[in-house]
Structure 1
Amino acid sequence: MLAPNIGVLALQGAFREHKRLLSTVGANVTEVRLPQQLQGLSGLILPGGESTTIGNLMVEYGLVEAIQEFHAAGGAIFGTCAGAILLARTIHGTPPQSGVQPSLNLMDITVQRNAFGRQVDSFRTTLEISGFDSPFPAVFIRAPIIEAVGEGVDVLARHQGQIVLARSGNLMAGSFHPELTGDARIHQLFLSLCREPQRA
Structure 2
Amino acid sequence: MDHTIGVLALQGDVREHLAVLRRLGEDAIAVRRPRELAAVDGLIIPGGESTTMIKLARIFELFEPLKARVRAGLPTFGTCAGMILLADRIEDGAAGQETLGGLDITVRRNAFGRQVDSFEGDLTVQGLDGPVHAIFIRAPWVEAVGEGVEVLARVPAGPAAGRIVAVRQGSLMATSFHPEVGGDARVHELFVDLVRRARAELRTDEETKRD
TM-score by length of 1: 0.92
Query: Which residue identity is paired with 1:168?
Result: Q
CA contact (8 A) 2:6 2:40 kept: yes
Structure 1: give runs of 5+ residues left out of the alignment. Answer: none
8 Å contact 2:71–2:102 — kept in the other structure?
A: no
For residue 69 of structure 1, report the CA deviation from its aligned partner.
2.3
User: AA paired with 1:164?
Assistant: V
Deviation at 1:100, TM superposition (A): 2.0
Q: 1:162 to 1:28 in 2, by over 3 A?
A: same
Q: Is the 8 A contact 1:5 1:42 kept in 2?
A: yes
Partner of 2:144: 148
* Counterpart residue number, 1:117: 113
Instruction: Provide the rounded CA distance (Å) in 1 between the counterparts of 2:5 and 2:35.
Output: 14
After TM superposition, the runs of 4+ consecutive aligned structure 1 residues lying more than 3 A away are none
2:6 pairs with 1:7: yes
Tell me the matched-pair count. Answer: 194
In the alignment, what sits opposite 1:132?
A: 128
**Residue type matched to 2:129 in 1?**
D
Per-residue displacement from partner, 1:67-121 (whole Å, max 9, x unpaired)?
12223443100000000000011001124xxx42121021111000111111001
**1:40 corresponds to which residue?**
39
Quick check: which has more Rg, 1 or 2?
2
Which residue of structure 1 aligns with residue 158 of structure 2? none
Does the residue aligned with 1:178 lie in a helix, a strand or coil? coil
When residues 72 and 112 of structure 1 are mapped into structure 2, their CA distance, relative to the original with a 3 A threshold, is closer
Partners of 2:58 and 2:145 in 1: how far apart? 26
Could you give the per-residue CA deviations for residues 9-61 of structure 1, whole angstroms, max 9, x where no partner exists?
00011111101111111111111111111123110000000000001111222
CA distance in 1, matches of 2:80, 2:134: 12
Pick closer, same or farther for the CA change 1:131–1:38 going to 2, 3 Å. same
Instruction: Report the CA distance between 1:154 and its aligned residue.
Output: 0.2
- State the one-letter code of the partner of 2:74: G
Bigger RCO of structures 1 and 2 (CA < 8 A, at least 6 apart)? 1
Please say if residues 59 and 102 of structure 1, whose CA atoms lie closer than 8 Å, have aligned partners that are also in contact: no
The amino acid that maps onto 1:88 is A
Tell me, what secondary structure is at the counterpart of 2:12? coil
Output aligned runs, 1:24-173, within 5 Å.
Answer: 24-95=23-94, 99-159=95-155, 160-173=161-174
The answer to whether the 8 A contact 1:3-1:27 is kept is: no
What is the Cα-based RMSD across aligned positions, in Å?
Answer: 1.5
Alignment partner of 1:116: what SS?
coil
Aligned-partner Cα distance in 1 for 2:71–2:105: 18
Give the Cα separation in 1 of the matches to 2:23 and 2:131.
Answer: 20
Give aligned-pair identity as a percent. Answer: 53
What is the DSSP-based 3-state SS (H/G/I as helix, E as strand, rest coil) of the residue aligned with 1:126? strand
TM-superposed CA distance for 1:62, in Å, is 2.1
| Structure 1 residue 3: Cα displacement | 5.3
Q: Is the 8 A contact 1:8 1:47 kept in 2?
A: yes
